[in-house]
């Protein structure tokens, strides 16, 4: 039993809705009272979960059928036979000598751990003694489990390595591939970098210097600058025909997704068979098989849609303003920039910026903070900056659940322009009414702010199509709604400026039309998209009279007291 505020209650409801009652423990949520002006609820959950026996059987069968590749550790002596291009290469820029660094001193308690890991990797056949002119020190990195990971400090080697510019897929594209999915499985390759061999010509470049001698790797170690690019390339080549059909890969995350259970069983089996074919081993302790919702690159995905994971929300809420407080001047304490204040502010904006698709008018809210990051800008933290800081944190905490866009459906793009910012929201009806798929906004440059209002309003449309191009290009129809009525006639206007002509040519790629919507309705629509999210979450709850709530003698004492006091209060009123 715990007491929670309204925001936490909303997250309880979101989780119940996204996982479904058959997947999640039944939850009781009771309104208590106002505490210091805030609504407070009690949340109690049963400790039993219900699952379809068919799902349990399929999960157990899959683990049994592929027990040879479900391994916590890579088998000793494993020598993967790789297809062409599956090696990791280390190409050195011309004119550089091999970096050779001395052994780094490590704490005495770490020496035994170092020796243990060296012996382990030598026995596995992925590390062996070296006489290479190269040599980099080692460092230890703590794992969440409390154990230590041996890492190599390859900074000197990385500085002279030719960088691999293999493209990383955009987060939005990866997330949008999951539209329509109702079943998910996540796989964690067992130290995937250690399953990719170093090219024989480059093995000597991986040499490390330790208290117990020099060693070099036969597989890709942690810390090499091009390791992420190689891992992604190997994964893309191994699973090329699965990607974007039922598989997404991003760094350590590998997700299989399907619209129904039967197809998901087939997709998971195909994926695991391919892993067996390429001798990829999977860590069984980190596998999630046949679940209805999943966390992926900072987002929670379920049949209900897309939301921000709780860990990221907590991380944002824990950030303090990048200021220190001096002596009080008048009624206000003097605010000074904290040490590395601009760096801290930039980090905060980067953290919340990755979730800007959830925040209407993000650029406008963040503008007072971005102003402090301009060159030669004086760092003055006033009430305007504090308000922007608080508003961004509040927007993240209360972010709506977004639909994943479906390119086969028509869309509505509502746009809004002002003298300083333009913003857009994409809406679709996927069977549950018109709901948002994502928000976007940009801050206008000094030049753009001098444009006439009609041109700014038109630019809001152009910018929306540019940003949501991957959704709207080729879509059946996009209805653009603007509160600037002259835009309705723009596409049939005979006299255009050169800039407007270019924009019209750009918009002609899309099957679109412009509709006028009054400013008042536009504001109401914006508010309703946020309010409807809460109603959508609460419609999964069923009203139960408090007298019908089952209370066992073994129940939580706080729960019993709550029911008793609530019943007494209701009977008294």
Q: What is the pLDDT of residue 432?
A: 82
Query: Which residues 6+ apart lie within 8 Å of 37 measured at CB?
Result: none
| Joined tokens for residue 289 | 């098989």
The answer to the question of residue 303 being in a domain is no
Q: Are residues 77 and 115 in the same domain?
A: yes
Q: What is the mean pLDDT of the chain?
A: 80
| Joined tokens for residue 492 | 């049939």
Query: Which residues 6+ apart lie within 8 Å of 483 measured at CB?
Result: 416, 516, 517, 518, 519, 522
291-339: per-residue pLDDT in tens? 999 998 888 998 888 999 888 888 888 888 887 655 444 445 445 555 5
The answer to the question of residue 313 being in a domain is no
Q: What is the pLDDT of residue 521?
A: 56
Query: Which residues 6+ apart lie within 8 Å of 482 measured at CB?
Result: 414, 415, 416, 457, 460, 461, 514, 515, 516, 517
Q: What is the pLDDT of residue 72?
A: 80
- At 326 the three-state DSSP class reads strand
Per-residue pLDDT at 541 exceeds 50: no
Is the CB of residue 58 less than 8 Å from the CB of residue 267?
no
Question: Measuring CA to CA, which residue among 296, 293, 243 is closest to residue 270?
Answer: 243
Beta strands of 357-433 (E only): which ranges?
411-417, 421-429
Interatomic CA distance for residues 235 and 231, integer angstroms: 6
18-57: per-residue pLDDT in tens? 444 433 333 444 444 333 444 444 444 433 345 788 999 9
Question: Measuring CA to CA, which residue among 52, 290, 311, 266 is closest to residue 186?
Answer: 290
Is the CB of residue 111 less than 8 Å from the CB of residue 138?
no
State which of 363, 397, 431 marks the end of a domain.
397
Looking up tokens 């991003």 gives 250
Is the CB of residue 24 less than 8 Å from the CB of residue 15?
yes
Task: Name the β-bridge partners of 161.
Answer: 92
Query: For residue 169, what is the domain's CATH number?
Result: 3.10.10.10
Interatomic CA distance for residues 572 and 276, integer angstroms: 68
Average of pLDDT values for 122-141? 92
Query: For residue 475, what is the domain's CATH number?
Result: 3.30.420.10
* Strand 138-142 versus strand 299-302 pairing type: unpaired
Per-residue pLDDT at 289 exceeds 90: yes
Rg over CA atoms, the chain? 28
Please state whether 164 falls in left (phi above 0), alpha (psi between -120 and 50) or beta.
beta
Average of pLDDT values for 452-464? 91
Question: Measuring CA to CA, which residue among 471, 550, 561, 567 is closest to residue 510?
Answer: 471
Interatomic CA distance for residues 294 and 279, integer angstroms: 26
Q: Are residues 278 and 334 in the same domain?
A: no
Q: What is the pLDDT of residue 377?
A: 77
Q: What is the pLDDT of residue 380?
A: 80
The answer to the question of residue 270 being in a domain is yes
Interatomic CA distance for residues 230 and 87, integer angstroms: 8
Specify the DSSP class assigned to residue 313. H
Q: Are residues 272 and 341 in the same domain?
A: no
Task: Name the β-bridge partners of 328.
Answer: 333
Burial class (CB in 10 A: 0-12, 13-18, 19+), 326: exposed
Q: Are residues 175 and 271 in the same domain?
A: yes
State which of 280, 296, 312 marks the end of a domain.
296
* Number of domains composing the chain: 4
Query: For residue 393, what is the domain's CATH number?
Result: 3.30.70
Interatomic CA distance for residues 152 and 114, integer angstroms: 12
Interatomic CA distance for residues 505 and 499, integer angstroms: 10
Q: What is the pLDDT of residue 25?
A: 37
* Residue 442: count of CB within 10 angstroms of its CB: 19
Question: Measuring CA to CA, which residue among 468, 519, 460, 520 is closest to residue 490?
Answer: 460
Q: What is the pLDDT of residue 77?
A: 55
Q: Are residues 225 and 372 in the same domain?
A: no
Average of pLDDT values for 155-164? 94
Q: Are residues 206 and 229 in the same domain?
A: yes
Is the CB of residue 402 less than 8 Å from the CB of residue 438?
yes
Burial class (CB in 10 A: 0-12, 13-18, 19+), 440: buried
Choose from 90-94, 474-478, 560-564 the range with maximum mean pLDDT.
90-94
- DSSP assignment of 68-81 equals TTB-SSPPTT----
The answer to the question of residue 116 being in a domain is yes
> Quick one: which H or E segment has residue 150?
strand 148-152
Whole-number Cα distances in Å, 384 to 191, 268, 305: 47, 51, 34
Q: What is the pLDDT of residue 528?
A: 37
Give the alpha-carbon dihedral of 347, 254, 537, 539, to 10 degrees: 180
Per-residue pLDDT at 545 exceeds 60: no
State which residues form the domain around 340: 320-397
- DSSP assignment of 154-175 equals -HHHHHTBPPP-PPPPPHHHHH
Average of pLDDT values for 457-462? 92
Specify the DSSP class assigned to residue 246. T
89-116: per-residue pLDDT in tens? 999 999 999 999 999 888 887 888 999 9
Three-class DSSP labels, 377-398? CCCCCCHHHHHHHHHHHHHHHC
The answer to the question of residue 350 being in a domain is yes
* Strand 411-417 versus strand 478-482 pairing type: parallel
Q: Are residues 220 and 93 in the same domain?
A: yes
The share of the chain scoring above pLDDT 90, in percent, equals 36
Q: Are residues 368 and 494 in the same domain?
A: no
Q: What is the pLDDT of residue 32?
A: 41
The answer to the question of residue 453 being in a domain is yes
Looking up tokens 């010509």 gives 201
Average of pLDDT values for 330-355? 73
pLDDT band at 171; cut points 50, 70, 90: confident
Question: Measuring CA to CA, which residue among 152, 153, 250 is closest to residue 192?
Answer: 250
The answer to the question of residue 543 being in a domain is no
Q: Are residues 3 and 84 in the same domain?
A: no
180-206: per-residue pLDDT in tens? 899 999 998 887 888 889 999 999 999
Average of pLDDT values for 482-486? 85
Q: Are residues 36 and 68 in the same domain?
A: no
Question: Measuring CA to CA, which residue among 297, 319, 321 is closest to residue 308?
Answer: 297
Q: Are residues 65 and 45 in the same domain?
A: no
Q: Are residues 66 and 181 in the same domain?
A: yes
221-269: per-residue pLDDT in tens? 988 999 989 988 999 999 999 999 999 998 778 999 999 999 999 999 9
Give the alpha-carbon dihedral of 294, 299, 300, 306, to 10 degrees: -130
Is the CB of residue 315 less than 8 Å from the CB of residue 354?
no
Task: Give alpha helix (H) positions in 413-452.
Answer: 446-449
The answer to the question of residue 308 being in a domain is no
């Amino acid at each position: 039993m715990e007491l929670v505020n309204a925001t936490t209650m909303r997250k309880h409801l979101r989780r119940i809705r996204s996982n479904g009652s058959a997947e999640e423990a039944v939850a009781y949520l009771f309104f208590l009272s106002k505490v210091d002006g805030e609504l407070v609820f009690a949340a109690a959950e049963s400790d039993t979960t219900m699952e379809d026996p068919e799902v349990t059987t399929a999960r157990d069968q899959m683990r049994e059928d592929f027990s040879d590749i479900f391994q916590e550790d890579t088998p000793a002596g494993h020598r993967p036979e790789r297809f062409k291009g599956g090696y990791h290469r280390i190409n050195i820029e011309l004119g550089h000598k091999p970096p050779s660094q001395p052994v780094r001193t490590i704490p005495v308690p770490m020496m035994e751990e170092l020796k243990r890991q060296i012996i382990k990797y030598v026995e596995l056949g992925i590390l062996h003694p070296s006489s290479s002119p190269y040599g980099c020190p080692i460092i230890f990195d703590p794992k969440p489990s409390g154990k230590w990971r041996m890492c190599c400090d390859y900074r000197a080697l990385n500085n002279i390595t030719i960088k691999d510019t293999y493209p990383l897929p955009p987060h939005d594209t990866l997330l949008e591939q999951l539209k329509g999915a109702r079943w998910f499985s996540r796989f964690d390759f067992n130290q995937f970098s250690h399953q990719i061999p170093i090219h024989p010509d480059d093995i000597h470049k991986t040499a490390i210097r330790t208290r117990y001698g020099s060693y070099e790797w036969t597989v890709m170690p942690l810390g090499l600058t091009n390791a992420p690019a190689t891992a992604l390339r190997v994964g893309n080549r191994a699973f090329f025909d699965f990607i974007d059909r039922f598989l997404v890969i991003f760094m350590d995350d590998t997700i299989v997704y399907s619209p129904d259970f039967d197809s998901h069983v087939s997709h998971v089996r195909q994926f695991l068979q391919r892993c067996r074919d390429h001798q990829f081993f999977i860590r069984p302790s980190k596998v999630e098989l046949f679940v209805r919702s999943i966390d992926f690159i900072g987002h929670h995905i379920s049949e209900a849609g897309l939301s921000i994971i709780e860990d990221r929300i907590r991380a944002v809420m824990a950030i303090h303003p990048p200021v220190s407080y001096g002596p009080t001047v008048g009624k206000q304490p003097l605010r000074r920039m904290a040490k590395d204040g601009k760096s801290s502010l930039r980090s905060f904006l980067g953290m919340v910026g990755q979730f800007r698709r959830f925040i209407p008018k993000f650029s406008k809210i963040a503008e007072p903070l971005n102003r402090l990051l301009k060159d030669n800008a004086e760092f003055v933290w006033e009430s305007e900056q504090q308000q922007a800081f608080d508003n961004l944190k509040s927007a993240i905490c209360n972010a709506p659940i977004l639909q994943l866009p479906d390119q086969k459906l028509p869309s509505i793009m509502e746009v809004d322009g002002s003298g300083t910012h333009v913003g857009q929201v994409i809406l679709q009806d996927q069977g549950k009414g018109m709901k948002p798929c994502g928000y976007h906004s940009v801050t206008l440059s000094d030049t753009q702010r001098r444009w006439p209002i009609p041109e700014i309003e038109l630019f809001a449309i152009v910018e929306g199509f540019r940003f949501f191009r991957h959704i709207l290009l080729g879509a059946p129809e996009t209805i653009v709604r603007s509160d600037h009525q002259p835009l309705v006639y723009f596409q049939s206007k005979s006299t255009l400026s050169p800039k407007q002509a270019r924009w019209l040519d750009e918009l002609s790629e899309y099957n679109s039309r412009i509709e006028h919507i009054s400013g008042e309705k536009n504001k109401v629509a914006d508010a309703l998209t946020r309010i409807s999210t809460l109603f959508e979450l609460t419609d999964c709850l069923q009203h139960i009279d408090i007298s019908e709530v089952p209370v066992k003698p073994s129940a939580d004492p706080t729960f019993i007291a709550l029911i008793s006091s609530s019943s007494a209060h209701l009977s008294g009123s």
